[in-house]
Amino acid sequence: MEIKTYTDKKVLIIARSQKLLGYLQAIIGTINPSDREESELVVQLAHAEQDVDALAFDIVIGYDSAYAASVASQQVEQAEPSKKPVVISLVITYSIEHFEVVIPTDFGDLDRKNALLISIFQSRAVLANHGDQDVERVVAEFAEHLRDPDLAFDWEPELIPSDLLEFYDNAQKSQTQPQSQLEARQISALKRKHDGPPVGSPKRLRRSQSVAQTPAELDSTVRELIDPDPAKEQVMLTRAAWGALTQKNTELESQLRDKDELEAITRKQITRMSKQIKSHESTANVIQKQHMAALSERAGFEKERNQAVEQEQAVRARLAERDATILALQARLEQAASKDSVLAGLDEKSKQLSAAREEIRLLEKKLKSKESDFDFARGQYQDERQHVNDTMQENKELREQVAQLKQQFSESLVKIQQINADSSQKDLQRLVVEAQTLAKDRERELERTCEELRSLKNGRRETRGTSVPRSPRMGVMTPRNGRGGLSTLGASAGATPGSRGTSPSHVVETPAPPPPPPLFAASSAANGRFNHLRDRL
């Protein structure tokens, strides 16, 4: 595995058994730790039935034929072309897996097995002359192509010869050839070849009935010799032979019973072992998942550990440099302290220098404190300024909202006034209608009252000074002078000097309605049809 050629590739290897996964894990474990540190290649091993997200990897390697029926293969086939990873299928040349790739899918199970047997049987001669390929060279070519894709890369897999794919032609030829040779021999053995068309039967038909054949009667002794009955056969044995046969039969029966018991025990053992194997396989799968997770976690831990070791080495190197500097300074100090005359002033100067440095350090500390205070004050000022800007912006927005609300309030007030005016107008219209209705009712009531008065007037006797009867039409049709209009009741609203002061009169403030027809008035005065109505009133 060319692990150094990759930087950040993710590889998924799918195999059909846990044993193969163990072998592959052992092979991957032989990689040097230094190579692991230099590369960020991630290799994950998975079982064919394990549910793995194959689209999260850059390269998917099908180690055997179990990849075709795996979950990862279905995910790759159903994925979009842009998201599909690079798929590499490994197949042994001229093996069952190699032949299964080229066998048509419409073959049944029996046809597929026959085709595999025929192809493998016919490939023996090819395998004898087939040379081994340089596997390492092929792997290096694929690794180089995956690291740096080349459009000119064209890999030609090992093709199966066409004569090995003729599954049934050779077998059918080998079967049909002897039959055709036999037919040719039979034809050549004939005196006359059937070259011409077939001729009808040359013999005449039998007209007489055939003689019935009756089997000959055989003696019972002869019949027993020809067709003996096994149930009637008798065998003569000695007592010793009979005992030996009985003992042998007993031993065989006991062995048969032991064999049946052993078979039952074996079946139970096989059933129990199969359950244990399934349990172990499920446990192994769980352990495998946990182991893979632990391996990935261990790889991350090793990476962090290596980084920590590198940091520790760098810190140790810096500490060593500082220790060397301290030793050099101490040596210089001892050398300077060994001198008496010249170094006395130097010692004082060094003390002054130390005091000056201490003062400088204190001043720098105060300066840092002042700078921090200044930065804090500046930050507070900026925060207050930002707060003031936010407040001004908020006030501006509130003013806009107040203006908008005022406009909405004025519009709402106009609408309310309009609604009130409409409602007032409707109330006034309703009052007018009610007043008109009331006036009409009053007019109808007045007309009814006038009618009653008129009927009463027409129904009673006239009391005049003369005995000449007055025509009933004169009081209705002829207006009287000085009475102020038509008299429908026999008297005007205001009494005149010519009227009788003793005559009863009804004063009506409203104008009198038009008089009824004269025929009705005459008839009502002539007959008493409405007297009962008048009595009720």
DSSP per-residue codes, 361-399: HHHHHHHHHHHHHHHHHHHHHHHHHHHHHHHHHHHHHHH
| 3-class DSSP state of 224 | helix
Query: Are residue 23 and residue 130 in the same domain, yes or no?
Result: yes
Amino acid 227: pLDDT: 60
Cα-based distances in Å from 175 to 114, 171, 179, 180? 15, 6, 7, 9
- Copy the structure tokens of residue 151: 């459009």
In a domain, 269, yes or no: yes
Amino acid 535: pLDDT: 56
Query: In the sheet that 86-89 helps form, which strands lie side by side, from edge to edge?
Result: 42-47, 10-15, 59-62, 86-89
In a domain, 360, yes or no: no
- Sign (positive/negative) of CA torsion 404, 405, 410, 413? positive
Domain boundary among the residues 334, 360, 390 is at 334
Query: Are residue 161 and residue 272 in the same domain, yes or no?
Result: no
Query: Are residue 134 and residue 281 in the same domain, yes or no?
Result: no
In a domain, 217, yes or no: no
In a domain, 43, yes or no: yes
Query: Are residue 145 and residue 23 in the same domain, yes or no?
Result: yes
Amino acid 190: pLDDT: 47
In a domain, 237, yes or no: no
Cα-based distances in Å from 128 to 94, 122, 131, 162? 11, 11, 8, 17
Domain boundary among the residues 303, 334, 365 is at 334
The whole-angstrom separation of Cα 212 and Cα 4 is: 100
Query: Are residue 158 and residue 302 in the same domain, yes or no?
Result: no
Query: Are residue 152 and residue 278 in the same domain, yes or no?
Result: no
Cα-based distances in Å from 37 to 31, 303, 359? 11, 7, 51
In a domain, 329, yes or no: yes
Amino acid 157: pLDDT: 74
Closest CA to 53 of 92, 23, 14: 14
Amino acid 533: pLDDT: 58
- Return the DSSP state at 81: G
Amino acid 441: pLDDT: 92
- Cβ count within 10 A of residue 97: 16
The whole-angstrom separation of Cα 119 and Cα 164 is: 5
First to last CA, the chain: 132
Query: Are residue 275 and residue 135 in the same domain, yes or no?
Result: no
Domain boundary among the residues 334, 350, 371 is at 334
Our count of domains for the chain comes to 2
Could you tell me the residue range of the domain that residue 110 belongs to?
3-170
What is the model's pTM? 0.33
Residues of the chain with pLDDT under 70: 1-7, 32-39, 130-133, 151-152, 166-235, 336-345, 460-537
Query: Are residue 145 and residue 264 in the same domain, yes or no?
Result: no
In a domain, 377, yes or no: no
In a domain, 153, yes or no: yes
